[in-house]
Structure 1
């Protein structure tokens, strides 16, 4: 698989973890951020689904 075809990081260069260990910029947990480069694209897509849920909760 070409590098350009891989699931890209949701990082927005606003890196700070809140009291729940979730980044206020990309909404990934600290563990998800650390493991991102070792994850398969399937795992990354799963994380992005969780990110979308977390992002919606913050918007409420």
Structure 2
């Protein structure tokens, strides 16, 4: 299984209504912690992002 790359899209604006980045849908805490996260934690966040994108 390959490593989860950063979901950053370069569109870095936090939506005040959701608290999610408008580009990647991560929270500020998730963005800040990304580099220190384990691979399992990154994959969990990636699963959450897919669900968040579906809720738009």
Matched, 1:16 2:10: no
Larger Rg: 1
Structure showing greater relative contact order (alpha-carbon pairs closer than 8 Å, 6 or more residues apart): 2
When the two structures are superposed, what TM-score results if normalisation uses the length of structure 2?
0.90
Structure having the higher helix fraction is 1
Provide runs of 4+ in structure 1 moved above 6 Å. Answer: none
Unpaired runs of 5+ residues, structure 2, are none
Question: How do 1:1-60 and structure 2 match up within 5 A?
Answer: 5-19=2-16, 20-58=18-56
Number of residue-to-residue matches in the alignment: 54
Give me the CA root mean square deviation: 0.9
When the two structures are superposed, what TM-score results if normalisation uses the length of structure 1?
0.84
Distance (whole Å) between structure 2 residues aligned to residue 21 and residue 46 of structure 1: 18
